[in-house]
Amino acid sequence: MENINEKLNEILSLPAENEVVEWKEAKNDFDSRKLGKYFSALSNEANLKDKKSAWLVFGIKNDKTIVGTNYRKDSIKLNSLKSELAKHITTGISFVEIYETEKNGQRIILFEIPAAPKGIPIAWKGHYYARDNEDMAPLSIEKIERIRAQAKLRDWSAEICEGATIKDLDPVAINMAREGFSRKNQSIDPSDIVAWSDEVFLNKAKITVNSKITKTTIVLLGKSESEHFINPACAKISWILKDKDGIEKDYEHFSCPFILAVDNVYKKIRNLRYRYISDKTLFPDEIDRYDPQTIREAVNNCIAHQDYELGGKINVVENEDDSLIFSNLGSFIPGTVENVIEADSPSEFYRNKFLADAMVNVNMIDTIGSGIKKMFMSQKNKLFPLPDYDLTSGKVKLTIVGKVLDVQYARKLIQIPNLDLKIIMALDKVQKRKKINIDEIAELKKHNLIEGRNPNFYISSKVAIKTGERSEYIKMRGFKDDHYKKMILEYLEKYKEASKADIDKLILDILPNILDEQQKKTKIRNIVYAMSKRDRTIVNQGTGRYPKWIKV
């Protein structure tokens, strides 16, 4: 949100709490079980009130007095709420955003809670909650059914396009759909499928309804000039090539039929060969930067899950620094990528169920919903960074990197036997210098995979030694302080005195790479302070800003 303080002022201007706004004092702590109930209640009420989101605010008393809150002052612990609560929330949906700000010099936390998706009431630990004005209450049967009925009432992708006929469809696209249907349904004699008329085939593939053209039919098989049948929705995929500075170099737009557009987009992507630095035993000499199936899966997912009613287009951005970014409009209904990876069954809910089913029937996407996990496994097996999902701002943005990162611990760790994908996902965050939550920290430490202090974690020596990365490990971890002290004393033994600049030059470059420049300078200052005040091995004979250290 651009200006959270404006939102806070808007909330404070309300005469009282209501069904979609709640504030709590939460001076020092708040029961996470109650927090889950509030999440369920506010999410359900936002849906019923047709609001984009609801708000829960900490640091405000019932009478709107600003008192501030000390709740989870550590940002890692605060943001770990998302994963903690997602474990017990229907479909794993979690907070869209957690904001920290100040009011009257007091710390305030605002939780922006998304409205329950259409047709999906939100439960906390199996129980549905609602609001009765300012109070918490069970979600009534009537309200549960009102939310569930939303999914039954309307599926945009199944709606009929009045006036559209089979003449508005692309014959090449229909033939490709037949081929995909034949591969998907090998129990049906291929000659029978060929013999069907187009009308019969489209009905059997459930792309049309009683021979009537649906929005799904136009999106997947319609001629490009037939896109007007789904106005104001948009059936477009844009491929954009950007250079290393983010400047656009080339682009092309693809309209329906999307069943053909997927291959056209794939052909635009420069899937160059990637040459590994020789490891003698682990890698082939060259490999494709991007798995073709990963590209197609990513584009097909955008097609299946795009919120077409928002009127936007699907984007595929190719960066010359070796990454692909796929984005589509609409919230991520499963809530978190972790829920998809860990699930042993397909999602129960789809934004465009008719479209998704049709894509399954013509073999564009997998019926068991394992496409995302396959993308993760493909990147893992190539030792490339795992796919990155950004689920904020009302869209789903997927980034696929087609190279090995400079910090190569994660790609080495993947080779350790019995390391499951969940742990690799956490290690991948360490590789990318991303924050990891409390659960991930505990899991990685339990397996002795990371060292360091929050938030400056690095791959542990146990793993680094296994993978032959001892020198890189030392660069990340650094030496013990006694090593640096000994170097300073040896310098003074030889040169008799040392300025601050001399000491910086001596050890700055060998301090841990995990530290930034300012942290390194602070560490040197602490080492020198310890030597003079506690160890009493050196003394300052300089003045003010110009110290001159000598050995005692």
Q: Where are the alpha helices (DSSP H) in 247-336?
A: 258-268, 292-305
pLDDT in tens, 343-355: 655 666 678 999 9
Using only C-alpha atoms, the chain has a radius of gyration, in whole angstroms, of 29
Q: What pLDDT score does 279 carry? A: 47
The CA distance from 272 to 198, in Å, is 39
**CA proximity to 352, closest of 493, 151, 89:** 151
What structural domains does the chain harbor? 4-152 (3.30.950.30), 154-368 (no CATH), 409-477 (no CATH), 481-551 (1.10.10)
Phi then psi dihedrals of residue 459, to 5 deg = -65, 135
Overall average pLDDT of the 329-336 stretch: 77
| Contact predicate 248/269, CB 8 Å | no
For 273, other C-beta atoms within 10 Å of its C-beta total 9
Phi then psi dihedrals of residue 241, to 5 deg = -105, 125
Mean pLDDT computed over every residue of the chain: 85
For 429, other C-beta atoms within 10 Å of its C-beta total 18
**CA proximity to 400, closest of 409, 411, 410, 389:** 389
- pTM over the 0.85 mark: no
pLDDT in tens, 184-239: 999 999 999 999 999 999 999 999 999 999 999 999 999 999 999 999 999 999 99
pLDDT in tens, 293-316: 999 999 999 999 999 988 999 999
The pLDDT of residue 412 is above 60? no
Q: What pLDDT score does 467 carry? A: 56
| Contact predicate 260/235, CB 8 Å | no
**CA proximity to 124, closest of 190, 40, 13, 55:** 40
- The per-residue DSSP string of 65-109 comes to -B----TT-SHHHHHTHHHHHHTTBGGG---SEEEEEEETTEEEE
149 vs 466, higher pLDDT:
149
Q: Which helix (H) or strand (E) holds 328?
A: strand 323-329
User: b vs e for 230-252, b when ≥16 Cβ sit within 10 Å of the residue's Cβ?
Assistant: beebbbbbebbbbeeeeeeeeee
